[in-house]
Amino acid sequence: TAYDLLLVEKEGTLVCLNAHLANDLFAVWLKKGKLLPFNNYRAFYREKAIGQSRIDFFLEFPQYESLVEIKSVNLVDQGLALFPDAPTARGSKHLEELISFKDNGHQAAVVFIIMRDDAQKLSPHYKMDPLFGSTIRKAVETGVQVIAYKCKVTEQGMKFNGEVPIIL
């Protein structure tokens, strides 16, 4: 179509629906040093081919390399952000790639960017996609970092609004 849907307002909260912006936000926040677990990187590259997947970010640190997969979240129910909002075989496949990369002695992380500011915590949406839920538990057990950040969304733009806890 000729247009993109960027924002909706739900019960007084602006929600960004453009999932592609999550990767751009991560890159901006990374450059500004807002993401403490990822500070001190030497270089980063987007869309790194790993195995049979393209992982969103490849970061080089002085002592190691890290893969980071970004997930855009816009579903929140009573303060709980839920991912995914639809079944995602691709999402589970990316987690398996992160697990494999971690098993080979590297670092790996999945970062959820909540595209609204009314979330107090994040959880896998087990009812929507049990496979993703079990795969993210496996990823955590393997040592893959799982982090969630939320955005302050206004009609003028989106800003970093801190980390939220994750409930598995």
Between 3 and 32, where is the model more confident? 32
In this model, does residue 50 exceed pLDDT 90?
A: no
The pTM assigned to this predicted structure is 0.95
In this model, does residue 51 exceed pLDDT 80?
A: no
Between 70 and 3, where is the model more confident? 70
Per-residue confidence band for 148, with pLDDT thresholds at 50, 70 and 90: very high
**Paired tokens of 9:** 């307002």
pLDDT of residue 58: 96
Three-state SS string across the chain, please?
CCCCCCEEEECCEEEECCCCHHHHHHHHHHHCCCCHHHCCCCEEEEEEEECCEEEEEEEECCCCEEEEEEEEECEEECCEEEECCCCCHHHHHHHHHHHHHHHCCCEEEEEEEECCCCCCEEEECCCCCHHHHHHHHHHHHHCCEEEEEEEEEECCEEEEEEEECECC
pLDDT of residue 152: 96
Write down the mean pLDDT value for the chain. 94
pLDDT tens-digit profile of 120-145?
A: 999 999 999 999 999 999 999 999 99
pLDDT of residue 49: 85
